[in-house]
């Protein structure tokens, strides 16, 4: 059994079908890059994994638990599935420390002193130990995104979802965030990342999934798939993003 299994997932907004029968398995330790045009359903696909998007058909399972079962305790599930968003979504009224320790404290009841140590530890991982007492608006976009990653890591997730996490960053700040991702990849974290950074996908992903019109149009080993697209759609997409 795979860690994450999507089977014939259908997602509609009214009459508009965003995901049209998507099936995808993700193994433990695997790194999957999901690419495709905007509107192709890749972010929606990611958000189905932690139950942020209700689905209209098919099943999503995480570690054997059916995510789209109304009886599933999504709060429990989400403790194991971290997600990082394009727009960081840090809590503006909380310091970096409080952003990171909020969930461990109120969800897992970690005592305050231990929570502070946890914050220090995850901040070291993203190279921002000295920013522990800063507030989000005192940080650059790249730093904010690294704090958002640290905040997710503090819950010790089994899988991490990254939703275009470098798309809102100035070009010179993209590198520092991708570096953190590379380190996590080395640590063996299971990751699903929606990205426009094709070079990065080629470098760290085991597998690339190309979404088109709400379907998985093409998928395969990262290097081979990106080097030799089998469908004209992927070829067109790649030539567009690689200029």
Residues at the site binding another protein, with contacts judged by CB under 8 A? 50, 52, 74-76, 78-79, 81-83, 85, 87, 89-93, 102-103, 106-107, 135, 151-152, 155
3-state secondary structure of 25: strand
Rank residues 11 and 151 by Cβ distance to another protein and give the closer one.
151
CB of 215 to another protein, least distance (A): 25
Rank residues 78 and 207 by Cβ distance to another protein and give the closer one.
78
Alpha helices in the chain (DSSP H): 42-49, 74-78, 96-108, 112-125, 141-153, 171-186, 198-204, 222-227, 232-241
CB of 152 to another protein, least distance (A): 8
CB of 123 to another protein, least distance (A): 16
Helix axes 96-108, 112-125, angle to 10 degrees: 130
Rank residues 139 and 155 by Cβ distance to another protein and give the closer one.
155
Query: Buried b / exposed e across 180-193, counting CB within 10 Å, b at 16+?
Result: bbeebbeeebbbbb
Distance CA 74, CA 50 (A): 8
Rank residues 121 and 223 by Cβ distance to another protein and give the closer one.
121
CB of 155 to another protein, least distance (A): 6
In sequence order, what DSSP letters do the residues of 156-207 get, joined into one string?
--SEEEEESTTTTS-HHHHHHHHHHHHHHHHTT-EEEEE-S-HHHHHHH-SE
| Residue 140 DSSP label | -
Structure tokens at 74: 């999504």
CB of 59 to another protein, least distance (A): 20
Rank residues 138 and 231 by Cβ distance to another protein and give the closer one.
138
Rank residues 13 and 91 by Cβ distance to another protein and give the closer one.
91
CB of 210 to another protein, least distance (A): 26
């Amino acid at each position: 059994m795979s860690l994450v299994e999507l089977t014939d997932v259908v997602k509609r907004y009214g009459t508009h079908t965003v995901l049209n029968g998507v099936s995808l398995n993700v193994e433990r330790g695997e790194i999957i890059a999901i690419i495709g045009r905007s509107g192709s359903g890749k972010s929606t696909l990611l958000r189905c994994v932690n139950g942020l998007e209700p689905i209209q058909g098919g099943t999503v399972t995480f570690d054997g638990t059916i995510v789209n079962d109304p009886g599933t305790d999504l709060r429990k599930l989400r403790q194991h599935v971290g997600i990082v968003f394009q727009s960081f979504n840090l809590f503006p009224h909380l310091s970096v420390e409080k952003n990171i320790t909020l969930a461990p404290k109120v969800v897992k009841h970690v005592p305050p002193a231990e929570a502070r140590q946890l914050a220090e530890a995850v901040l070291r991982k993203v190279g921002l130990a000295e920013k522990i007492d800063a507030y989000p608006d005192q940080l650059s976009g790249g730093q904010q995104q690294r704090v958002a990653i640290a905040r997710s890591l503090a819950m010790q997730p089994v899988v991490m979802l990254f939703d275009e996490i470098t798309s809102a960053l100035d070009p010179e700040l993209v590198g520092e965030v991708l570096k953190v991702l590379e380190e996590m990849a080395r640590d063996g974290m299971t990751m699903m990342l929606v990205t426009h950074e094709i070079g990065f996908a080629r470098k760290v992903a085991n597998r690339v999934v190309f979404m088109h019109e709400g379907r998985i149009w093409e998928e395969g080993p990262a290097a081979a798939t990106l080097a030799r697209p089998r469908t004209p759609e992927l070829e067109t997409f790649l030539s567009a993003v690689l200029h």
